[in-house]
Structure formats: structure tokens, C-alpha cells
Amino acid sequence: MNPKYPHLFSPGSIGPVTLRNRTVMAAMGMSQSDNGFVNTAVLNHYAERAKGGVGAIIVEVTCVDTPLGLNTKGMLVIDDDKYIPGMARLASVIHEGGAKAFLQISHTGRGARRAIIGAQPVGPSPVAMPYSFMMGLANETPRQLTIPEIHEIEEKYAQAALRAKKAGFDGVEIHSVGYYLGQQFLSSTANIRTDEYGGSRKNRIRFHLNIVKRIRELCGDDFALIVKLSVVEQGKDGGISIPDGIYYSKKLQQAGVDAIEVLAGKWSEESGKNEKPESAYPDCMAVPLCQVVKAGIFLTTGRPKTIPLIGGGRAQDPVKAEAALAKGKCDFIFIGHALLAQPDLVKLIEEGREDEVRPCIGCGHCINQQLQHGGRAICSANAVLARGDNDYTITPAPVKKKVAVIGAGVAGVEAARIAALRGHTVDIYDSSDEVGGMINLADKPPFKEHFTLLRPYLERQLELKGVTVHLGKALTKEDVLALGADAVVCATGSKPVSLKIDGAERAVFAKDVLAGAATGKTAVVIGGGSTGCETAELLGKQGKAVTLVEVTDTLAGNTGKTARTILMGHLKGFGVKILTEHKALRITDSAVICADKAGREITLPAETVVMAIGERPDASLYEQLKDELPEVYNIGDSNGGGILPAAVYEGYTVGNKI
């Protein structure tokens, strides 16, 4: 045990279940099942994290009522006995890794989409789901559940718990956060019923208490029961107040629930300039809510709480997690996305190898890919996540080679890391004076500070894997041929594109602005992709008068909807003027001349003009080398670019090919 974290690595109990330490892997939807059944990808995903040292694993959201309760096509299901054999294998591999196994059970309610369930969604009341930061869209008005239907769903939760017990799980977690049915019953805005299930707090918690009682009847007291609870719902018209959340927590404690995972829910139609995306979330952000619950139970009952509270929220920093436990702010720490990025995070911390941890940068691709694009969750740091069968095996190279990687961005470093791990001798080269490539600009817009965590990780991995790093010189074809490498990986990035219009030479590129180039008091940003929007955001935050010009009707179209909504709120909050469906015609010494879709011209005063219309792959070195050497690869932005997870995946794949 790491002596720096005695509380984090002390055993703890959740009801009848004793964990080897105080860490709990939070349930995170991966959407990688086969029609609801556990498959090899699911088994490998959780086996890797169990081996990685976490105390307990709460398996991702699992549907108790198909099809109405589904939220994605790849969601796990537990509404029939036919799913028990697969769930038994899943519980077994988690136990083999030394972790305790819990299954999160849920119904999506009004958060379901007709395209997935083939019918109108259902909910406590006929109130449509408003904008959800997680789903990224509003939803159709649900059909109100009848009381007999509610009773049926309560029984389905209980039967799902019984199946989990038969499969060998140590307990279940009732999901009552986010856009799921549990939270919908608790929310005064989602639940406007006037019968026994609505109106008062006492009635709104009835759904949960009935489920808890029935699970106890079916599963007994030797089976742990956790509730993942929104103790506050922040929305335009409220929903769950802090007093509501304290009341619900108290009632769950009285009902014999073994632990509460404490979180907040959120609904919003728009974001303000101070709203933070996940890339700027504070560490252990949900821990203060545990303190609220703890104090609230004491104030309303006159006695200290007896129910363990699981707190977290970006809890990958062991120093802060240890402090939260040591000060009694919470009893267990839940860890989410950090365990997607680094499956053996807990083990590395326990062994004192914190500097080897691959950080979660809060990019949100894991959420966007599965909830908004209908695919599996992916990760910008972890190339294996949800790819194929989630096989983390690295096979030693049968023939050891001398490998040269040209370009030390994320794709190049990943290729170098994997190639070295497989036994090759690897040198990496970059014309810049630092490792990281475009990631060194990605942290420059506001609220993206977690991106700064990636470069130290990349540098440390190169050091640990014995990769020789050469910086500050651009290599020519002749330079590369002179290296005598058996295999060459080109990861030479991209170059910004400029419009072919009069005065274009007066503009500066967005990447130069992000790097710190001086700008005037008035600026026009041409190009409304993610880079253009983030550059306008930065300038607006600096107090500049900014106009953003985009030729299409869409801004930041390649940005996840959660982050995009927050970004749009920032642009509005910082006073950025937005002109979509406008085309830049020419640039003068003091202005940009644009035209709307009807051809009407408009003059935009500008001391600074920023060009942000995209990047062109710089594959020139690859083109010169591909016929000169037997083994040459082109990856990352020089191979067409794309989102960060794609670059990391390309590097990982090539590193395994060499």
C-alpha cells in the first residue's frame, strides 16, 4: 500500500460487501453489447479494470424493461433470465480481478428516443425532456405512465436485481441521475403528477422506496443496494432542491439502502459564459454534495448519518481523493472517465507510479460517441477502449527493428510508445522544441486547462519506454534516409489553409492567435469550425470586439453537443457577433467585406483578421519516402486528421504493426 494514501487504500464496507480499498468505478455506458447480451468486449473491458486495482466496479447502465427502457442500441439488458449466463461470466471476471461487482439497473423513461425504442417514450408525466447536457437534444413528449404500469416497472427493477444476484453480483445500483426514469420521478418539473406518485416529496420518492422494499424481499439483506442519486437538479425552473435531496437521502437511509452515490443533475436550454465544460471541471467536484447530505441528515434528524456516501467527480488526483476521505467528506471515492483512460489507475497509484497515469483530459468524446452518434464510447487517450474486443495484449515483435517516428504529436508518440513497448529501438523527431504537436495549442482556449495534463504524460512515456527524442529540427527526405531505419512513421501534421481572396495575406492563422500572437481591439474570425469558435471565444474573453463569420449555417459542427452548447453560451456571453451563411469576399487594411446568402455586402471593421477555415494534411515527407523504403506509414493529421481519438488509435495500430 502506498503510505501517502492510507485512507484511500483502507478496506471499507458497503452493507454486507467489503471492498479492498475505497475506490469505486462509476457506471459509464459503453454501448458495446450484442443486442443486450454480454460479449467478449464487455468482459475484457471490466476484467482489465478489475485487475487494475479498483475496489468495486459498478457495471454500466443496464436496462430493466426493453424496449421502452433503452437509451442506446448497445445497452446491456437484464429484463429476462436469458441474460443471466452472460452476466454470470461478467461477475466472475470482475471477481477474478479482485474487485466487487455491482450492476447498475435502470429505465430511460422520457430520455429514450423513438428511433431506438420504436415507440413514444414514457415518463412520470407528459413533460418532454428539455435540453440535456448528456444527450445533447430535446426529446418528444412522453406518454404518462399509469399506476399499474408504474407497479410493473417497480417489479421489473426488483426482478432485475434478483437476476443480478443469481448471476453472482454482490449488489445493484438504482440509477437516479441524469435523464433516467429514477431522477424523473424525483424531479418536480419532470413529475407533475397529482396522485400517490407526485406532488409532495413523500410521493415523489415512493417509486424508489417501493423498489428498495421489493428488492429486499427478493434478494435479502446479504445483497448490497446502492442508489445513484441526484441530490440537486439545476434547471431553469428547478426540479430537485437541496432540501429535496436531503429528504430523499434520509428516506433512502431509513429504507435500508447500503450507500448513496452522490451527484447532481442538470437541465438547461442554454449555457452562460461561466459554464464549464468537462475539460475544466474541478477535481472531486461532487464531494461537497456529500458534505451537504451529511450535514442535512444531521440537521433534520438530530443524528449523524449512518449511510456511506460515495463522492467523486473527476477524482483521478489521489492527493485530493485522500484528503476527501481523511476529512470525512465522503466514505468512498467514485472514479469514472479516468478509468476509461487508464484501466490500472488505482494499481499505479498504489505502487507509487502516479507519474505514469494517462490523464483524462475531459474532451467528452466518450459520451458523444455513444449517446449522440450511436456508437461505442471511445477515448482520446486510450486507443483500446471500445475498439474490437477491448484486448489490451501487447505482443512482442518477432523481429526487432530500428524505427524512426517523424513528428512528436499524439499520434507519433503513441506509435513510438507501442513500438518501443514491443521491443523495437525507437527514435522520434520533431521540428518543434517540444513534444505534443497540436495538443500544445488545444489547451489555449478558455476552459480547456485539463488538456495541459497530456504533454507531461507523453514526455514521461517516451522516457519510460526508452525512446530517444530529437527536437528542434525539421527532417528532409535525405535526412530520414540517412538514419538507416528499418521502419519510418510519418506523423508530420497539417498546415492551415487560407482563402484565396484579395487581402488574405493580411490575415493571421488561428493557431498563431492561440499561440499568443498579438491582436487588435476589433477582430473578425473567418471560419466557424471548432477552432474558429474557440479562437473567437478566447478573443471575446480578452475583451475584444469579435465577429465570427461562417459560410454555412452551422457552428462547431464537429464538436460534441455537450461541449458545443457550452461553447455557444460562451460566445454569446462574451458578446461575439455571429454571422452564419456569410461569405468573406476580401480583406482590406481595416475591414473584412462579406456577403450574405442573398449577395448583400457588409463591411466588418477589423484591426485583426483571423483565418480559421481548416487544415490541410502535410504528407509531403511521406510521399517522398513511400517508394524509397520498404516500411513507411502515414498517421495522424498528415493522414487526413480527424478527432483526437482517431490520431491516438492510428498511432497505436501502427505501433503494433511494425
Cα separations in angstroms, 275 against 177, 337, 566: 20, 20, 6
Mean pLDDT of 115-120: 93
134 pLDDT more than 60: no
State pLDDT tens for residues 526-569: 999 999 999 999 999 999 999 999 999 999 887 777 788 889 98
Cα separations in angstroms, 182 against 109, 163, 223, 486: 8, 20, 21, 58
C-alpha span between 346 and 273 (Å, rounded):
35
Q: Do 510 and 605 belong to one domain?
A: yes
Mean pLDDT of 467-471: 98
Contact 290, 266 (CB under 8 A): no
Residue 560 sits in a domain whose CATH number is 3.50.50.60
pLDDT of residue 222: 97
Mean pLDDT of 560-579: 89
Q: Give a yes or no: residue 4 inside a domain.
A: no
Domain that holds residue 411: 402-494+616-657
State pLDDT tens for residues 392-408: 999 999 999 999 999 99
C-alpha span between 216 and 193 (Å, rounded):
27
Number of domains in the chain: 3
Banded model confidence at residue 140, pLDDT cuts 50, 70, 90: confident
pLDDT of residue 386: 80
pLDDT of residue 270: 58
C-alpha span between 335 and 112 (Å, rounded):
26
Domain final position from 372, 389, 423: 372
Contact 221, 20 (CB under 8 A): no
Coil, strand or helix at 167: helix
pLDDT of residue 565: 83
Residue 180 annotated as catalytic: yes
Q: Do 551 and 651 belong to one domain?
A: no
Q: Do 421 and 366 belong to one domain?
A: no
Q: Give a yes or no: residue 6 inside a domain.
A: no
pLDDT of residue 280: 85
Beta strands in 337-415 (DSSP E): 402-406
Give the count of alpha carbons within 13 A of 116, CB side only: 28
From the number of C-beta atoms within 10 Å of its C-beta (0-12, 13-18, 19+), residue 96 rates as exposed
C-alpha span between 621 and 625 (Å, rounded):
6
136 pLDDT more than 60: no
SS3 of the chain: helix, strand, coil, percent, to 5: 35, 20, 45
State pLDDT tens for residues 66-102: 999 998 999 999 999 999 999 999 999 999 999 999 9
State pLDDT tens for residues 259-309: 999 998 766 555 667 788 888 899 999 999 999 999 999 999 999 999 999
Nearest CA to 453 out of 344, 313, 359 is that of: 359
Beta strands in 145-283 (DSSP E): 171-176, 224-234, 259-266
Q: Indicate the DSSP class of residue 475.
A: P
C-alpha span between 205 and 207 (Å, rounded):
6
Alpha helices in 342-388, H assignment, sequence order:
345-350, 365-367
Cis bond leading into 605, ω under 30°? no
Q: Do 546 and 572 belong to one domain?
A: yes
Q: Give a yes or no: residue 378 inside a domain.
A: no
Coil, strand or helix at 348: helix
Residue 460, φ and ψ in degrees, nearest 5: -65, -40
Among the residue ranges 77-86, 235-244, 479-488, 637-646, the one predicted with the least confidence is 235-244
Residues with Cβ within 8 Å of residue 648, at least 6 apart in sequence: 379, 380, 381, 382, 383, 410, 411, 414
C-alpha span between 9 and 26 (Å, rounded):
17
Residue 21 sits in a domain whose CATH number is 3.20.20.70
Contact 210, 202 (CB under 8 A): no
- CA 523 to chain CA centroid, Å, is 33
Q: Do 473 and 621 belong to one domain?
A: yes
Q: Do 220 and 232 belong to one domain?
A: yes
Q: Give a yes or no: residue 385 inside a domain.
A: no
User: Any bridge partners for residue 175, and if so which?
Assistant: 228
Mean pLDDT of 377-384: 90
Q: Give a yes or no: residue 224 inside a domain.
A: yes
Q: Do 167 and 81 belong to one domain?
A: yes
Residues with Cβ within 8 Å of residue 92, at least 6 apart in sequence: 168
Coil, strand or helix at 471: strand
Q: Indicate the DSSP class of residue 436.
A: B
User: Any bridge partners for residue 221, and if so which?
Assistant: none
Give the count of alpha carbons within 13 A of 243, CB side only: 6
Contact 258, 15 (CB under 8 A): yes
pLDDT of residue 517: 95
C-alpha span between 458 and 337 (Å, rounded):
19
Global pTM value: 0.94
Catalytic residue of the set 180, 247, 248, 281: 180
Q: Do 328 and 422 belong to one domain?
A: no
* Per-chain mean pLDDT for the chain: 94
Domain final position from 328, 355, 372: 372
Q: Give a yes or no: residue 382 inside a domain.
A: no
Distance separating the N- and C-terminal Cα atoms of the chain: 38
Q: Do 609 and 646 belong to one domain?
A: no
C-alpha span between 257 and 404 (Å, rounded):
57
Q: Do 157 and 211 belong to one domain?
A: yes
Q: Do 263 and 325 belong to one domain?
A: yes
Q: Give a yes or no: residue 364 inside a domain.
A: yes
* 17-19 vs 12-14, strand pairing mode: antiparallel
pLDDT of residue 272: 66
Q: Do 488 and 529 belong to one domain?
A: no
Q: Give a yes or no: residue 367 inside a domain.
A: yes
Residue 653 sits in a domain whose CATH number is 3.40.50.720
Coil, strand or helix at 589: coil
Banded model confidence at residue 375, pLDDT cuts 50, 70, 90: confident
